[in-house]
Amino acid sequence: MASQTYGHGGLQIENSREEDQGKYECVAENSVGTEHSKAPNLYVKVRRVPPTFSRPPEPINEVMLGSSLNLSCIAVGSPMPHVKWMKGAQDLTPENNIPIGRNILELTNIQQSANYTCIAASSLGQIEAIAVIKVQSLPTAPTDVQISEVTATSVRLEWSYKGPEDLQYYVIQYKPKNANQAFSEISGIITMFYVVRALSPYTEYEFYVIAVNNIGRGPPSVPATCTTGETKMESAPRNVQVRPLSSSTMVITWEPPETPNGQVTGYKVYYTTNPNQPEASWDSQMVDNSELTTISELTPHAIYTVRVQAYTSMGAGPMSTPVQVKTQQGVPSQPSNFRATDIGETAVTLQWSKPTHSSENIVHYELYWNDTYANQDHHKRISNTESYTLDGLYPDTLYYIWLAARSQRGEGATTPPIPVRTKQYVPGAPPSNITAIATSPTTISLKWLPPPVERSNGRIIYYKVFHVEVGRSDSEATITTLNKTHLILDELKRWTEYKIWVLAGTSVGDGPRSHPIIVRTHEDGMYGF
């Protein structure tokens, strides 16, 4: 208590406290004696305010792994509270040094998420506020990836995740196992299961699952592998080769289908001297899971057509491309990989590989072709080479071309005919039967027919009609482009001669012009023809 007395008997108490409360009396003394005043009671009213947070800590604090953070906690009250921090049951503020009103907790190198509690306490009570520290880090790898519901083109994946929450989605990566190719990826999956579709049948795949949060992608899961189911075969045996061992025996070899879509269990070899018959009537021979067979008791000096078909548990696949062989010892086998490599309007470049057997005996090749327009067969003997440019062809015409090798012992089997359509070209002739008639003083009616079919050189897709007054230059002609074979020229001058000509065009360009015709429009008052 701080007090001060005054000469007139007054008492002043400054900064009163609770212990200043009580009875006070004034005592006067002199030489005569002592006198006491009445004793009034002094009551001190104490201001009591329980603790409250004027600035509580932030309730949610997201930080990066390894970062630092200061948590500030400020409380007020009367009396002023002591403020301390706790982590669970652990006191973080020394008991002998608890600050009053304000406490800042300094956190460094944060490694994991945790909850921190700020406690403000006084004689009037205690309050708490929790600050949650969330460490933002990449998610962990999903676990326990399971595969079920396997079909030929789809599988179902399920997985677990035991890492930090707040995931955004999952990613599935997959590819054929041991294949040298990039992973396919499915993103944005928000469930812990997914059906992966559009897979290739009878293929071993590996699958990875990746969790993603707002920081990025976590590590992939342990791979899960499975083989898709079988389905109907899509491809035929490849590289079928046939060679005669004698005039009555041939050896046939082949390679498995590229996409069998299942486990090949066997093959069926078809052979005939009449390939125009349906395959069901051909001779055939079953072969176990081998890629070679020998067929005997054949007709000597005959040309056989051979096809091979593979089998899986799902049934038979498509047949291979026909291969021909002549049962005559010493003649070459069929040239392989016969193809057109460059197709022009009137020429086509052909390439092939030498026959696999007896190629050292080849003296020349026999080239055959026909065209579907004239329906004529052609034949030409060419040198011992592996390419040839066949020219003198019609534009926009379908040809069938085939090839055989010849040795001193004779001509071998031909390749199957390959279809080749030459490119379109500009028409070789103008439109025909052009008629032009004046129908009024200002109009002329035109009609025509397309160029002859054999001179069209492709599909006629437009016509151009030119008209100009007689006496003017052709370069001044008005051009009308259309895809019809008739036209009315209008807005012409009365009683005026016009020169008119027409051309046809394909996708390649303009053909030649027709011979011009001269037509005069009518005078005023003239009608009819």
In contact, 182 and 173? CB cutoff 8 Å: no
d(CA 210, CA 207): 10
pLDDT at 158: 96
Q: Is the dihedral of CA 274, 276, 277, 282 positive or negative?
A: positive
Alpha-carbon span 74 to 483, nearest angstrom: 89
User: DSSP letter at 183?
Assistant: P
> How many Cβ atoms from other residues are within 10 Å of residue 219's Cβ?
12
CA dist 158 and 173 (Å) reads 14
Do 503 and 509 form a contact (C-beta atoms < 8 A)? no
Cβ–Cβ < 8 Å for 258, 235: yes
Task: Give the per-residue pLDDT at 529.
Answer: 43
What's 217's DSSP letter?
Answer: B
Q: Report how far residue 153's alpha carbon sits from residue 258's, in angstroms, rounded to the nearest whole number.
A: 17
3 state SS of 196? strand
The DSSP code for 18 is G
- For residue 79, is the peptide bond before it cis, meaning its omega torsion is within 30 degrees of 0? yes
Spatial distance between the Cα atoms of 74 and 80, rounded to a whole number of angstroms:
11
Written as one string, the DSSP assignment of 19-72 is GG-EE---EEE-SS-EEE----EE-PPPP-EEEEEEEPPPSEEEEETT--EEEE
pLDDT confidence of residue 439: 95
Give residues with Cβ within 8 angstroms of 510, minimum separation 6: 426, 464, 503, 504
- Please report the pLDDT score of residue 291 as a whole number: 94
Domains in the chain (CATH in brackets) are 50-135 (2.60.40.10), 143-227 (2.60.40.10), 241-326 (2.60.40.10), 339-421 (2.60.40.10), 435-520 (2.60.40.10)
pLDDT of residue 19: 81
Closest to 451 measured CA to CA, from 510, 516, 392: 510
Per-residue pLDDT of the chain (529 residues; tens, 9 = 90+): 556 666 566 788 887 777 878 888 888 888 888 887 787 888 777 778 999 999 999 999 988 888 999 999 999 998 899 999 999 889 999 988 899 999 999 999 988 889 999 999 999 999 999 999 988 888 899 999 999 999 999 999 999 998 777 789 999 999 999 889 999 999 999 999 999 999 988 999 999 999 999 888 999 999 999 999 999 888 999 999 998 888 899 999 999 999 888 899 999 999 999 999 999 999 999 999 899 999 999 999 999 999 999 999 889 999 999 999 998 888 888 898 999 999 999 999 999 999 877 666 799 999 999 987 778 899 999 999 999 999 999 899 999 999 999 988 888 888 989 999 999 999 999 999 999 999 999 999 999 999 998 899 999 999 999 999 999 999 999 999 999 999 999 999 999 999 999 999 999 999 999 999 999 999 976 554 4
| Residue pair 177/205 in contact by the 8 Å Cβ criterion | yes
272 CB neighbour count, 10 Å cutoff:
20
Residue holding tokens 């001269």?
518
Q: What six digits make up the tokens of 168?
A: 């955004």
**Other CB atoms closer than 10 Å to residue 506's CB: what's the count?**
22
Going by C-alpha positions, the residue among 360, 356, 343, 372 that lies closest to residue 413 is 356
Residue 218: how many CA atoms within 13 Å on its side-chain side?
27
Which pLDDT score is estimated for 165?
72
Could you tell me if residue 214 is left (phi over 0), alpha (psi between -120 and 50 degrees) or otherwise beta? alpha
Q: Is 281 in contact with 334 (CB distance < 8 Å)?
A: no
Triad 49, 50, 55: Cα angle to 5° = 100
Task: Please tell me what DSSP assigns to residue 456.
Answer: H
26 vs 247: CA distance, rounded Å = 153
Q: And the tokens for 475?
A: 């370069």
